[in-house]
Amino acid sequence: MDQRTELSEFLRSRRARLRPADVGLPDYGGRRRVPGLRREELAQLAGVSTAYYVRLEQGHGENVSTAVLDAIARALRLDAAEREHLLRITRPARRAAGRARAARPQQVRPELQRFLDAMDGVPAYVLGRRLDVIAWNRLGNALIGDIAALPPEQRNLAWLVFLDETARELFVDWEGKATDLVGMLRLDAGRDPDDPRLAALIGELSVKSEDFRRLWAAHNVQDKGHGVKELSHPVVGRLSLRYETFRPAGDPDQVLVAYHADPGSSSAESLRLLASWTAAEPGAVRETAAEAVAETAGETRSSTGR
């Protein structure tokens, strides 16, 4: 990802969503040539000269101080994830560290995998960089669509949501889920702009999905959080589940996602049915993440004669 272009387009998109009334400026009427605040209005709010802001919006952010960026973030009404993104895409000096981090293979600690497997009745999985699904428990696997059966390059939440029709049917609010994932990918792209696997994923999704192209062009940024998801599961039907995210200690690039149902609800009963189905049909959802990785490695060695 070209950070100069990203900085320019991100600032323009955030400025375009604001109106004078949103930030306490008078609107003297008349037709505006562009939507949102004018550059000079944004510069006034941030306490910088118009020329200075124009240069920043053209992508020249190398020498901008954190104090100025904070002032612009406040003027643009950026949330925490958007502010983080703004800071990262104006710090090209950090790219070498990002390249090194992106090159390292991601695995969960064995203790974390055992913790996942011990979460009885709680669907859970771990996301890594690029929204790769790098670990799961059996119920988590059953909930989101048998990740274990997929080749490693397709064990990615964004790939599934945009390119797998079963995922489109799984999420009742598919548009909302897709929007969230694109915002998370945009945040990852700001953290590791030179990650070749992330660039390849974005390229594939852009070529194969019109919906992804549309949402990517919006430049929205979002971090992983918590909330409620409505699912239409092929085995147990409609589910309303709450989800929480946790970052395991020692690896900020991983996040554990766990789902649960309200006690006594129909969704809680449906989760119990799904757990029973998973236990009764081990061939349908047969592997933990560790078993899937081991099987993939064995197939690779066999195919290469090693």
User: In this structure, are 156 and 286 located in the same domain?
Assistant: yes
Is 100 part of any domain? no
Is 48 part of any domain? yes
Q: What is the pLDDT of residue 284?
A: 45
User: In this structure, are 114 and 238 located in the same domain?
Assistant: yes
Is 259 part of any domain? yes
User: In this structure, are 73 and 222 located in the same domain?
Assistant: no
Query: Residue 23 sits in a domain of what CATH number?
Result: 1.10.260.40
What kind and span of H or E run contains 15? Answer: helix 3-16
Q: What is the pLDDT of residue 126?
A: 96
**Residue 265 corresponds to which tokens in the numbers above?**
């609800």
Burial label for 84, CB within 10 Å (0-12, 13-18, 19+), is middle
Q: What is the pLDDT of residue 303?
A: 43
pTM of the model: 0.84
Query: Residue 154 sits in a domain of what CATH number?
Result: 3.30.450.180
The list of the chain residues with pLDDT below 70 reads 1, 27-34, 92-104, 280-306
Is 292 part of any domain? yes
**For residue 186, what are the CA distances in angstroms to 66, 88, 91, 93, 158?**
21, 12, 16, 19, 12
Q: What is the pLDDT of residue 191?
A: 86
**Residue 203 corresponds to which tokens in the numbers above?**
């390229």
User: In this structure, are 82 and 118 located in the same domain?
Assistant: no
Beta bridge partners of 156: 132
Task: Tell me which amino acid residue 165 is.
Answer: E
Is 116 part of any domain? yes
User: In this structure, are 261 and 117 located in the same domain?
Assistant: yes
Question: End-to-end alpha-carbon separation of the chain, Å?
Answer: 37
Is 115 part of any domain? yes
Is 97 part of any domain? no
Q: Which domain holds residue 31?
A: 3-90
Q: What is the pLDDT of residue 302?
A: 44
Contact of 112 with 128, CB cutoff 8 Å = no
- Choose among 175, 178, 182, 255: nearest CA to 222: 182
Beta strands in 176-236 (DSSP E): 227-233
CA–CA separation, 77 and 75 (whole Å): 5
User: In this structure, are 153 and 195 located in the same domain?
Assistant: yes
The pairing of beta strand 227-233 with beta strand 124-127:
unpaired
User: In this structure, are 126 and 57 located in the same domain?
Assistant: no
- Final residue of a structural domain among 41, 59, 90: 90
Is 46 part of any domain? yes
A 10 A CB-CB count for 204 gives 17
Cα radius of gyration rounded to whole Å, the chain? 22
